[in-house]
Amino acid sequence: MRPQALHTARRAGFAAPSLKLAGFESGWGFGTASAPAASPCAAPLGFASGRHPLADDAVSAALRRRAEEIDAAFAAIEPTLRALAPAQFEPGFAERASAELRSTLRLEIPTAAFEARWNAPLDLRTLYARCVVGTFCRLIERAFDRGLAQFSDGEPAEALIRRWGFHAIDVTPCADGRLSGVIDYILRIPPAVVAYRQSYAGAMFDVAESVRHWESVELSRFRAGMPNASGEPTKFLKIGVYHFSSADPHHEGCAAHGSDEARAAGSLLERLEQFASAVRQIEGADAGVATLLIGVDTDTDAIHVHVPDAAGRMSVSRYLCSRELYDSTGGMEREAAKEAIRAAVAQMTGVAVDDPVTEGMRWLCGYVLKNNFGQVEAVRNLYGGRYPEAGHGEKLIIVGDAVDDVQLRNLAYQAQMQTVEEGAVDLDVGIKVLTHHHGPAGLPLPILVHFRYDARIPGAADVAAAKARRLAASIASRHAGLAARGDLYIGAVIRAGDGSALTPVELPARGAAKECCA
Per-residue pLDDT of 343-381, as tens digits, reads: 999 999 999 999 999 999 999 999 899 999 999 999 999
* pLDDT of 433 higher than 90: no
Predicted confidence at residue 389, as pLDDT, reads 83
Q: What is the number of structural domains in the chain?
A: 2
**C-beta of residue 332 within 8 angstroms of C-beta of residue 373:** no
Instruction: Give me the percent of the chain exceeding a pLDDT of 90.
Output: 67
Segment 105-127 shows an average pLDDT of 88
Is the Cα torsion angle 518, 147, 411, 27 positive or negative in sign? negative
Domain boundary among 383, 408, 432: 383
Range of the domain at 463: 57-88+126-144+392-504
Over residues 375-394, the mean pLDDT reads: 90
**Cβ–Cβ < 8 Å for 497, 455:** yes
Rounded to a whole number of angstroms, the CA Rg of the chain reads: 23
The three-class DSSP label of residue 154 is coil
pLDDT at 439 (0 to 100): 78
Q: Is residue 266 part of a domain?
A: yes
pTM for this prediction? 0.86
Same domain, yes or no: 161 and 135: no
Structural domain contains residue 43:
no
Looking at the structure, tell me whether residues 429 and 480 fall in a common domain.
yes
Q: Flag the least confident range among 124-133, 264-273, 355-364, 509-518.
A: 509-518
Pair 229, 341 in one domain:
yes
Catalytic residue among 56, 71, 170, 176, which?
Answer: 176
Peptide linkage before 227 cis (omega within 30 of 0): yes
Query: How far is Cα 243 from Cα 173, in angstroms, rounded to an integer?
Result: 9
Q: Give the confidence band of 448 by pLDDT, cuts at 50, 70, 90.
A: very high
Rounded CA gap, 376 and 153, in Å?
A: 20
What is Dmax (Cα atoms) for the chain? 78
Angstrom distance (rounded) from CA 126 to CA 446: 9
Burial class (CB in 10 A: 0-12, 13-18, 19+), 176: buried
Query: What does the DSSP assignment read for 385-412?
Result: TS-S--S---SEEEEES---SS--TTSE
DSSP string, 104-152: HT-----GGGG--BTTB---HHHHHHHHHHHHHHHHHHT--------SB
What pLDDT, on the 0 to 100 scale, is given for residue 41? 45
- With beta carbons less than 8 A apart as the criterion, state whether 157 and 190 touch: yes
Residue 112 lies in a domain: no
Question: For residue 50, what pLDDT is reported?
Answer: 62
248 is known as an active-site residue: no
What pLDDT is recorded for position 27?
A: 27
pLDDT at 511 over 60: no
Question: What's the rounded Cα separation, in Å, for the pair 487 and 481?
Answer: 8
CA 267/CA 242 separation, integer angstroms: 9
| One domain for residues 449 and 398 | yes
Using alpha carbons only, give the angle 341, 343, 349 rounded to the nearest 5 degrees: 105
Last residue of a domain, one of 341, 363, 383: 383
Whether residue 321 is found in the same domain as residue 441 = no
Which of 363, 383, 403 lies at the terminal end of a domain, its last residue?
A: 383
> Is residue 498's pLDDT more than 80?
no
**Residues 196 and 258 reside in one and the same domain:** yes
pLDDT tens digits, one per residue of 273-304: 999 999 999 988 788 899 999 999 999 999 99
Nearest to 5 by CA among 388, 296, 331: 388
Whether residue 201 is predicted with pLDDT greater than 80 in this model: the reply is: yes
**Pick the residue with more confidence: 509 or 500?**
500
pLDDT given for residue 37 in this prediction: 38
What does pLDDT average to over the chain? 86
Regarding whether 399 and 326 lie in a shared domain, the answer is: no
Residue among 425, 422, 433, 430 nearest 448 (CA)? 430
Residue 497, pLDDT score: 85
Q: What is the pLDDT of residue 238?
A: 97
Is 201 buried (19+), middle (13-18) or exposed (0-12) by CB count in 10 A? buried
Same domain, residue pair 132 and 218: no
CA–centroid distance for 36 within its chain: 25
